[in-house]
Amino acid sequence: MEIIFIFFILLYSIILHEISHGYIAYRLGDLTAKYEGRLTLNPISHIDPIGTILLPILTLYTTGFVFGWAKPVPYNPYNLKNPQRDSIYIALAGPLINIFLALIFTFLYKIYPNNIFLFGLRINLVLAFFNLLPIPPLDGSKILLTKIPLEIYQYLELYGFLLIIIFIMFFFPYFNNFIDLVQNFILSI
């Protein structure tokens, strides 16, 4: 039963992350996500066959670490009033919803100490901070785009997936230590 709860926490943490991107884009004038049916809690709308099904199963059985993604929520920057500023808001929406969910799970854990709530806290911290890395296609790269020339960003985009793999292979232990620090700080409040 615990595994089912953990699965749903992970699934809906990812789905809410993606919906928040589309919702902020919608609020800022872009209806793309709404027209594509992506402002829904229905998991089928967010499943990417490779990133949501195949890769997580492969990485779980080969490394013990689950890695994957949902279908990114599309938006059209030409529909935004201020594309540069609004793109940052849209990018930050996903990590911010994960931080909010982490705080909710912290509150639940404080009321009823349970590994399921602790998992909810941790997975949302991982989702928030991992997505803030300035590596394309992660959300942090959209913020980076406003600070570097487009040509450099396009070059990084070519190797984004490789950079993510390198980060996971060589820097994930440090990232995990950082998540431990944040988690312990939040739990100490």
Residues identified as active-site: 18
Of 99, 96, 76, the closest CA to residue 86 belongs to 76
CA distance 135 to 167: 10
Cis (ω within 30 of 0) for the bond into 137? yes
The token pair at 119 is 């998992």
Give yes or no for a contact between 122 and 180, defined as CB atoms under 8 angstroms apart: no
Give yes or no for a contact between 51 and 137, defined as CB atoms under 8 angstroms apart: no
